[in-house]
Structure 1
Amino acid sequence: MLEISFDLVLILVAAAFAAGFVDSIAGGGGLITIPALLLAGIPPVTALATNKVQGLFGAGMAAVTYARAGHVVLRRQIGPAALSFSGAVLGALLAGSLPTDVIRLGLPVLLIAIALFFALRPGLSDIDRTARIGPLAFALGFVPVIGFYDGLLGPGTGAFFMLGFVSLAGYGILRATAHTKLLNFASNVGGLAGFLLVAKPFWMLGLLMGAAQIAGAYLGSTLASRAGARLIRPVLVTASTALALKLVWDWF
């Protein structure tokens, strides 16, 4: 393991706390933690694997917090979570053999489209709307695709899950956010399982950051449970836009 100073560890832990807070509300926590890990001098593949370790703690805490607040029944999500996990494992295993650079080119466009959808579409609130597809079709057709993407690349996974729950399943914004978290937790675990075959994460650092993720996710999901769409919409729009701009910046 690289020699990482105590001051740098504190910075990474603080980044994980902020990421847990943002990710529990709207996704996009990797926008904070992945650059922080890379700036610490950690090799890219190891940084991605370590990011999966710490990220699953935040997603898990957010899922539990939303469930305790009554916004989601986790046992009803076991099947979709298994599909998300399986898709992520496959995505991680194929990450080295698929044209991920081509996919990255379209990501900023998709993320800006998501930001515009949540910013401009009238009537979006915490009230459920009519679903366009049934729960089984959603679980079988949509969930594993996003799980696969999380294992393959990852940025914006929470926003993509949110878009599906709102636009296809008809969920209100708060309920959609709550239902996203267990699926995101499962895809994080699946992605980590795939990464373990090709890289070794920095476990101790990942666990330290994971503890901070738990604290940030608890705070964020608690606030979101109380404020609902009034908090979630602007955070989601901001996170999706920032991630799109970050990806464009990386090109140049």
Structure 2
Amino acid sequence: MELLVVSLASLLAGLVDSIVGGGGLILLPALFATFPHAPPATLFGTNKSASIWGTAFATVQYSRRVTLRWPSLLPAGLAGLLGSLLGAWTVTQVDPSLFRKALPVMLSALLLYTLARKDLGHHHAPRLAGRREALAAAGIGLVIGFYDGFFGPGTGSFLVFAWVRLLGYDFLNASASAKFINTATNLSALLLFAWQGHVWWHLALAMAAANVVGSLIGTRLALRHGAGFVRQVFIVVVLALILKTAYDTWFKL
């Protein structure tokens, strides 16, 4: 029964994650509820062992229908991987609890900006090209990769917003690009957790398969319905992240 519950949660997480990120909002609470006495690091590592497959398969699916700008994505992915490792190391040295209190405020500002700019992300018009875009993308990957390793919630949504707002992508192309960066950050975190023995491999295979199925469904929905659909899902997911992080920070005992 436990395997069925976390596999179903992994499927739904893969679906949401493939569209706009935020799958951890579903899978991590399911893992914590199903295994309340397990070490948190083990549940985080097991979550990564599933989510990396969903984001990787989503990247492949998007690449078949969306033109990914690899000259900027590859340095961004490398920077995201390095940033995530640095963030994971930093969290062993610094207490992230102060940052936790600021997260709902940051997400609220992001949501309000998206709602106020009704045309944001509807049109794909990259603002930069060549080396300038590669440097900007690498900077975004490094910063958000560090955040993913240090804290984590909403990484995919932050990546999508950065690609839309800073690089001028529409929500569909931004989501496709974000999947590749998120795969890199998931990989570095998974390697660190696995090295420290914080992955339940007996659950990983079933959860990974379910996550991939959800990812394939979500990717097809995004490709079929386009940037407007991805924007709507983005708004819903960010709102859910605000409510969840605000509750965990200010109201949960």
Same topology, TM > 0.5: yes
- Quick one: distance in 2 between partners of 1:14 and 1:220? 15
Runs of 4+ in structure 1 deviating by more than 6 angstroms, as ranges, are none
- Quick one: distance in 2 between partners of 1:20 and 1:129? 28
- Quick one: distance in 1 between partners of 2:221 and 2:76? 26
Q: How large is the Cα RMSD of the aligned pairs?
A: 1.8
- Quick one: distance in 2 between partners of 1:169 and 1:70? 16
Cα separation, partners in 2 of 1:106 and 1:150, compared to 1, 3 Å? same
Of 211, 214, 217 in structure 1, the residue corresponding to residue 212 of structure 2 is: 214
- Indicate the residue corresponding to 1:4 in structure 2: none
- Quick one: distance in 1 between partners of 2:111 and 2:101? 17
- Indicate the residue corresponding to 1:103 in structure 2: 99
**Structure 1 gap segments, 5+ residues each:** 1-6
- State yes or no: 1:118 paired with 2:114: yes
**Structure 2 gap segments, 5+ residues each:** none
SS at match of 1:196: helix
- Listed as ranges, the matches of 1:97-176 within 5 Å are 97-129=93-125, 131=127, 134-176=132-174
Greater shift after overlay, 186-195 or 30-39?
A: 186-195
TM-score, normalised to structure 2, is 0.91
- Quick one: distance in 2 between partners of 1:191 and 1:248? 25
- State yes or no: 1:90 paired with 2:86: yes
Deviations 1:218-251 (A, max 9, x none): 1101110121122111211111111121112113
- State yes or no: 1:49 paired with 2:45: yes
For residue 110 of structure 1, report the CA deviation from its aligned partner. Answer: 1.3
Would you say the 8 A contact 2:121–2:168 is kept in 1?
no
- Quick one: distance in 2 between partners of 1:169 and 1:230? 18
- Indicate the residue corresponding to 1:21 in structure 2: 15
Q: Tell me which amino acid in the other structure corresponds to 2:73.
A: Q
Deviations 1:145-192 (A, max 9, x none): 101111111100011111110111111111111110000000000111
- State yes or no: 1:32 paired with 2:20: no
- State yes or no: 1:226 paired with 2:220: no
Greater shift after overlay, 93-102 or 193-202?
A: 193-202
Cα separation, partners in 2 of 1:89 and 1:185, compared to 1, 3 Å? same
Would you say the 8 A contact 1:38–1:47 is kept in 2?
yes
- Quick one: distance in 1 between partners of 2:153 and 2:138? 22
Cα separation, partners in 2 of 1:102 and 1:250, compared to 1, 3 Å? same
Quick one: percent identity of the two aligned structures?
A: 36
Q: Tell me which amino acid in the other structure corresponds to 1:241.
A: L
Cα separation, partners in 2 of 1:125 and 1:75, compared to 1, 3 Å? closer
- Listed as ranges, the matches of 1:3-22 within 5 Å are 7-22=1-16
